C-alpha cells in the first residue's frame, strides 16, 4: 500500500488568508511551513489513485505529485475517485474543481451524500459539466476501495455525529464523520486515517491496535487552545476535535500503539505548525510524529 500525504492543515490552511496569528505569520515568512488542507492519496491495484477528501487545494495537490499527473493520453488521469470522511466544506469543495473530468466517483456515507446533494445541490451544479457516481462507504465489514482497486479493502468507522454548519438541522446520524480503515490483503498491512476525531470509540481503538500506520486529528494541541487564541469560545472537544495533549488528548493513547503514528489536520493556531516548537520534542519522546505535506508512506 502506498500513501501520499497531500496536505496536513485544518480548515483555512496554513497560512489562512485572513489570519495574522503567529502560525500564519511564520508560514508567510517561511514558505516551507505552509500546509495545504488535509488530504491523502491511496494507490490502487492498477496504479490509479483514490483521493481521501476533496479540498479547496485539490488542483495544486494533484499538480504537486507527478504520480497524479495525467497522461499519456490528453485526458487520461490516474485519479480514479474520491473518498470522503465527512461533509465539511474544507473536505468537499474540491469536488466541483474536478468538473472537467469525464466522470467522478465519490465514496461517502449516506448522510454525507445527502448533505452534498440536498443542501449544497452539488449534483445540480455539476450535472451540466460531468456525471457523479456515488458509492456507499461500508460501515459494517469492508468493501473494495473501488473498481480500480479490487484488492484494497476499505471501511468507515463512525467517530462523530457532528454535522457541517450548512446542515445543522439535518437528522442525527453517527456516521457524519468517519475514520477510514484501509487494508491491503497482498501485503497484510493496514492504515487508519482519521483527520477529524470527536471521540475514540472501542471500534476505533481496535482498528488502531491492528494498524501498521495511524494518521489522526491533530487540529488543536490542548483543550483550551481555541479559547486561548481567540479562535472560538468553545473548547477543542466542543468544536469536535480531541486535542493532542491533556486528559482528553490522544498522545498518550497513541504512544501505547505499535503502529507508526502521525498527526495531521493542524490548525493554524497549533504550535506544531512551527518546526522549532518544543511540543515536537514532547511528541518525539512518545515516539509520535507530525505528518508533513508531500510525505510518502509505503506499507
d(C-alpha 251, C-alpha 245), whole Å: 6
Contact in structure between 103 and 133 (CB atoms under 8 Å): yes
Digit-coded pLDDT (tens) for 159-189: 999 999 999 999 999 999 999 999 999 999 9
Radius of gyration of the chain (CA): 18
The DSSP result for the chain, as a single string, is -EEEEEE-B-TT-BS-TT--SHHHHHHHH-GGG-BPBPEEEEE-TTS-EEEES--TTHHHHHHT-GGG---SSTT--SEEEEE-S---GGGTTHHHHTTTSSEEEEEE-HHHHHIIIIIS-HHHHHTTT-EEEEEEPPSSS-EEEETTEEEEEEEEEEEE-PPPGGGTTSPP-TBSEEEEEEEETTTTEEEEEES--S---HHHHHHHHH-SEEEEE-S-SSTTHHHHTTS-SS-TGGGT---SSSTT-SHHHHHTSSSEEEEE-B-TTSGGGSTT-THHHHHHHTT-EE--TT-EEE-
> What mean pLDDT do residues 186-198 have?
96
Domain count, the chain: 1
- Higher-scoring residue by pLDDT: 248, 280: 280
d(C-alpha 165, C-alpha 162), whole Å: 9
* Residue 137 confidence (pLDDT): 96
d(C-alpha 204, C-alpha 230), whole Å: 31
- The whole-model pTM stands at 0.97
* Residue 140 confidence (pLDDT): 85
Q: Is the pLDDT of residue 148 over 70?
A: no
Find the domain containing 182 and state its range.
2-298
231 pLDDT band, cuts 50/70/90, is confident
- Higher-scoring residue by pLDDT: 248, 167: 167
User: Which residues are bridge partners to 160 per DSSP?
Assistant: 175, 177
d(C-alpha 287, C-alpha 251), whole Å: 10
- Strand 149-160 vs strand 260-264: parallel, antiparallel, or unpaired? unpaired
Cell digits of residue 286: 512518545
Which residues lie closer than 8 Å to 24 by C-beta, 6 or more apart? Answer: 14, 15, 16, 268
User: Which residues are bridge partners to 96 per DSSP?
Assistant: none
- CA contacts within 13 A on the Cβ side of 225: 25
Residue 214's CATH number: 3.60.15.10
What percent of the chain stands above pLDDT 90?
A: 93
Amino acid at each position: 500500500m502506498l500513501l501520499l500525504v497531500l496536505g496536513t492543515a485544518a480548515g483555512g490552511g496554513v497560512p489562512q488568508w485572513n489570519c495574522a496569528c503567529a502560525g500564519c505569520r511564520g508560514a508567510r515568512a517561511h514558505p516551507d511551513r505552509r500546509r495545504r488542507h488535509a488530504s491523502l492519496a491511496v494507490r490502487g491495484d492498477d496504479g490509479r489513485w483514490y483521493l481521501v477528501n476533496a479540498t479547496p487545494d485539490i488542483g495544486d495537490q494533484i499538480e504537486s505529485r507527478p504520480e497524479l499527473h495525467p497522461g499519456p493520453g490528453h485526458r487520461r488521469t490516474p485519479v480514479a475517485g474520491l473518498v470522503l470522511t465527512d461533509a465539511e466544506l474544507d473536505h468537499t469543495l474540491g469536488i466541483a474543481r474536478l468538473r472537467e473530468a469525464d466522470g467522478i466517483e465519490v465514496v461517502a456515507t449516506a448522510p454525507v451524500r445527502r448533505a452534498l446533494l440536498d443542501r449544497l445541490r452539488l449534483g445540480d451544479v455539476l450535472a451540466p459539466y460531468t456525471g457523479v457516481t456515488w458509492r456507499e462507504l461500508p460501515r459494517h465489514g469492508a468493501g473494495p476501495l473501488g473498481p480500480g482497486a479490487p484488492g484494497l479493502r476499505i471501511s468507515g468507522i463512525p467517530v462523530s455525529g457532528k454535522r457541517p454548519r450548512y446542515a445543522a438541522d439535518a437528522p442525527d446520524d453517527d456516521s457524519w464523520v468517519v475514520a477510514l480503515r484501509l487494508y491491503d490483503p497482498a501485503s497484510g498491512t493496514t492504515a487508519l486515517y482519521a483527520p477529524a476525531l470527536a471521540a475514540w470509540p472501542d471500534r476505533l481503538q481496535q482498528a488502531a491496535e491492528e494498524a501498521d500506520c495511524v494518521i489522526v486529528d491533530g487540529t488543536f494541541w490542548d483543550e483550551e487552545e481555541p479559547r486561548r487564541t481567540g479562535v472560538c469560545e468553545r473548547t477543542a472537544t466542543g468544536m469536535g476535535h480531541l486535542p493532542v495533549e491533556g486528559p482528553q488528548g490522544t498522545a498518550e493513547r497513541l504512544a501505547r500503539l505499535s503502529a507508526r503514528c502521525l498527526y495531521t489536520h493542524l490548525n493554524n493556531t497549533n504550535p506544531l505548525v512551527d518546526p522549532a516548537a518544543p511540543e515536537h520534542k514532547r511528541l518525539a519522546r512518545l515516539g509520535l510524529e507530525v505528518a508533513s505535506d508531500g510525505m510518502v508512506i509505503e506499507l
